[in-house]
Amino acid sequence: MTFRLSSLSVLPLLALSAVGCLAASSDSVAVDTQNGEQAAELRTSRFAQVRVVHASPDAPRVDVYAEGVVEPLIKALGFAEASPYLRLPAGSYTLQLRAAPSTSNDPVAYSTGPLTIDRGSKITAVASGLLGSSGTEDAFRVLPLAESFGGGPSNARVRIVHASADAPTVGIDLGNDNPVAPEVAALDRFADTGAAGVEVPSGTSLQIGITAGGSRVTAFTTPALPPQANLFVIATGLLAKLPRENEGFALLAVGPDGVIGVIRQNPKIYALHGVQALGPVDIFAGDAELASDLAPDELSAGIQVPPGAYALDFYAATPGPARPATTALATLGTGQLDAGQKYLAVASGIAAPGYRSAVTLSAYAEGFDLGARAQTQSLIRAVHTASDVGPVNVGTATRSRLDNKLVRGLRYLDSTDALGLGVAPGDYQIGIERPDDIIPVYLGTWDFMLPAAGRSFVVVTGTLQAPRGSRFPRPFIVDTTKAEWTLSTPVRVMPSSANH
């Protein structure tokens, strides 16, 4: 069966054959098709240009062979990499993929039938899907995309390719400003926005929102795009993975000279209101309301923002999304928030007049171990945000004493290792004590249920003082295991040895 790459936009490719006429030059002819002289020369010659982009998250590094040829055309192409353009004589080819490093005698991981490459064509072939899948919806394939970008006097053009094997049909909201009416209403899996590309502003970074069903799924921030740039922006990776993982859902930007970079999802913050003697709050960044009516001891929904550092203004909660004209109760900095990361941001301190404890905001990046132990153990990371308590010990308890101190001397605003402390899943009683007194103060015992393969922050917050509206020190559990984090409050089973 013969396919014509110059006319098809989606095709299982990756095998070039025509052994007798294969004289593939190693010249990296990475010219833009808008360059008149070079494009004209290519069209009138008997050659074509073909390159391969590896966008399959479960496929290893591969060598690309022409069937029947001993030496590979492309060696050790890895995930999120692109080969140079190969200058090939027009003709019929079959390409074969082998796991790198390889020889022509090793097993073929993927092969296509004969492919016809027309003279003068310029093709970016995107290897996508899952090599380990036998299903038709997400199986490995190659999308051969004939390049024919439109032109503009100053703006850039991007050709968006949906190559994520587990993402549904999505909308593309250029500007990330209207998920209900995205510029690209429905981009199917393994489809693209067309050969001419979509015109976007140059000279500035671009927000790209990914939508489904009128709601925003996630968003990205591109680097500033140069004028007249022609780029492929390939959605790759898996939604089921964390954004920080190499295989996580991301955008792969590919220009005429190869991969420009991997664009991770915008960072996401979960805010925990732990400020004592302060009622519900609204949180603003500039004029944008990030959280509304956030009650004490409540965790906000995930707040996604472009990468950067932010000053967040806290106001007493009021109806409506408009920023109040009054002075903020507190203005707190987040520190740098990086693409691909999720953060727990805890507001703590005491807001009542006369109590000496400043209101602070501390952000903790989610960095739990994802290795083998995370499959069998429950991982916890302790965070201390009780401003006037002093260092604490945390451990398993019997009644009002610690049997096994898991955490020792944890100080205010510090946390344990980001990889997490591994604990066998099960039901526990966890105690907290303040060890620095002459007689240690036991703060209480709580029931904990640690699920299998869980990843949780254990946040100690509250105050030993007793301003109106404050809470005695206690733990909260922020479960990060699922895509959207949740907060729970363990039940106290043994009171403290101090009064509040």
Given a contact cutoff of 8 angstroms between Cβ atoms, the answer to whether 356 and 390 are in contact is no
Q: Which two tokens stand for residue 18?
A: 């025509």
Dihedral of CA 177/179/180/184: which sign?
positive
Residue 40 to residue 95: CA distance in whole angstroms: 27
Minimal CA–CA distance to 400: which of 444, 335, 439? Answer: 444
- pLDDT at residue number 498: 61
User: Which CATH architecture is the domain 268-494 placed in?
Assistant: Sandwich (2.60)
Q: How far apart are CA 136 and CA 165, in angstroms?
A: 11
Cα separation, 428 vs 446, whole angstroms: 8
Nearest to 323 by CA among 360, 292, 363, 361: 292
3-class DSSP assignment, residue 7: coil
Task: Write down the pLDDT at residue 500.
Answer: 55
pLDDT along the chain (500 residues), means of 10: 32 35 35 43 72 96 91 96 93 89 95 83 94 93 90 85 97 96 96 95 93 95 91 97 98 95 98 97 96 98 97 96 95 97 97 90 97 93 96 92 93 97 94 84 92 93 93 96 95 74
pLDDT at 115: 77
Domains 156-263 and 268-494 share a fold: yes
CA distances from 86 to 27, 75, 118, 144 (A): 7, 13, 14, 14
pLDDT at position 134, please? 86
CA-nearest of 431, 395, 435, 430 to 411 is 435
Tokens of 9: 């936009």
pLDDT at 46: 86
Q: What's CA 266's distance to the chain center, in Å? A: 7
CATH class of 3-146: mainly beta
Query: What is the distance between the alpha carbons of residues 204 and 2, in angstroms, rounded to a whole number?
Result: 44
User: Residue with structure tokens 């296509």?
Assistant: 112
Are 454 and 480 a contacting pair, CB within 8 Å? no
Predicted local distance difference test score (pLDDT) of residue 183: 95
Evaluate whether 17 touches 68 at the Cβ level (below 8 Å): yes
pLDDT at 227: 87
What is the maximum alpha-carbon separation in the chain? Answer: 90
Domain-wise residue ranges, the chain: 3-146, 156-263, 268-494
Q: The tokens of 413 are what?
A: 């605003």
| One-letter amino acid of 394 | V
CATH of domain 156-263: 2.60.40
What is the C-alpha to C-alpha distance for residues 457 and 366, in angstroms, rounded to an integer? 9
Residue 227 amino acid letter: P
